Amino acid sequence: MLQFQVHSPGKVILHGEHAVVYQRPALAAVVGLGTKLQFRQQSDSQVASFQLEALNCTLEIQLSDFNTFLANFRSQNPKGSTAKLLEEVRGEIDKQLERSNNGVPALKATTQRAFISIYYLLAGAVLSAPGEDELTLKTGFQVHVESELNVGAGLGSSASYGAALATAFLILTGHFDSESYLEQENLALISHWAYESERVNHGTPSGVDNTVCTYGGIVRFVKGQGFESLSIHKPLNILLVDSRVSRSTADIVAKVRHLRDAFPQLIDAIWQACEELVKAAIPLYESFGNEQDDSSKFEQLERLFQMNNDLLKAIGVSHPKLEQIFTIAFKRGFFSKLTGAGAGGYAIVLLPENYQGNEVYWKLKEELEAAGFGIHVTTAGGEGLRVSSLKN
């Protein structure tokens, strides 16, 4: 029976937050934290079961109901197009919830979106499966998903989740196997379906999260113009600091848009500065780790972190808790910046190569934890999605 595990990383925005909305370049990188999915096929079952630890729930799909849905969809779309699939899946999930709960949906909004993503990606993988026009699911399976990424905190948790699910379903339906998934056409397929999963959660995603979570490393992204992977030698050490302040990305983006409407020339000058900062950062990231002594490059990256953070402060997306993090870090000689939408969420502290042997680092970590912040020591720019064997 088929069994394997998938690790799909999360992401951070290194530079270009908010400016990217206005067709300016941004740099995004995978982080060492991510989503772990375990897949186990069960020969004696006719149920697909999904245990989602982050949402504290278990969801089930009866294979008979699922195969009936597929048959109906094929009859209505004889050319095999999946363009209407998401709409049909939403309707099917609504009907199932009404039947099982006497017309009163019992799932939370986040759980319902997760269920739609599962059903949509699984149906898409089956309908587009190679070599068999009328593939159906004949054997049940169990999927266990746990994540190190906080939901809605700007670390790409939904894209990481979508990429892991897509990989599992594409392997299940014979698009590729656990040995060939790293081929470019297969990674592109994973990224495509992870993007489709993002549509369930975000409507019109930029495409950067699913790309970074799939391919890894650091990518340069311009909205509507695609992606370019940087040629880096090694990942950076970073400290992710959770401000524990929740916020709405959509609300923050709208607030910045209002500011730009009021002061267009001033805000556009900030966007231009953000673009120049990205240009200056790229050769530093690409050459870092190529020499024995990277101290001068690291110092330049620290300064870019500080300048980037000051530009973001100027558009009003900081927060008192973030300012507290910045102050604690700066007092200890470390440079930091907010990441993502801001107004809460996470801050990134740049760490030097030998940080573990630095007594000041441990004092920084202790002070941040004492102040009530969440701490994650990790990397930015490491490997992307990976599939590995799963022991019994």
Per the CB < 8 A criterion, the answer to whether 330 and 339 are in contact is no
SS3 228: strand
Nearest partner of 314 among 248, 251, 269, judged by Cα = 269
Q: Assign residue 72 a region: left if phi > 0, alpha if psi is -120 to 50, beta otherwise? A: alpha
Catalytic residue among 147, 157, 209, 336: 209
Alpha carbon distance, N-terminus to C-terminus of the chain: 11
Strands 47-52 and 140-147 come out as parallel
Per the CB < 8 A criterion, the answer to whether 390 and 45 are in contact is no
209 is catalytic: yes
Both tokens of 58, joined, read 């278990």
Nearest partner of 347 among 305, 389, 291, judged by Cα = 305
Catalytic residue among 8, 117, 157, 158: 158
Cα dihedral sign for 243, 315, 204, 20?
A: negative
Cα dihedral sign for 327, 354, 346, 220?
A: positive
Nearest partner of 127 among 164, 162, 173, 89, judged by Cα = 173
Would you mind telling me the total number of residues written for the chain in this entry? 392
Q: What CA–CA distance (Å, rounded) separates 197 from 204?
A: 11
Per the CB < 8 A criterion, the answer to whether 281 and 14 are in contact is yes
Whole-Å CA distances, 389 to 70, 161, 175, 372: 30, 19, 18, 38
Helices 109-127 and 85-100 pack at an angle, to 10 degrees, of 130
Q: What secondary structure letter does DSSP report for 32?
A: E
Beta bridge partners of 8: 35
310 is catalytic: no
Contacts of 19 (CB under 8 A, 6+ apart): 25, 26, 270, 271, 274, 275
Phi, psi of 18 (to 5 degrees): 70, -45
* Catalytic (active-site) positions: 158, 209
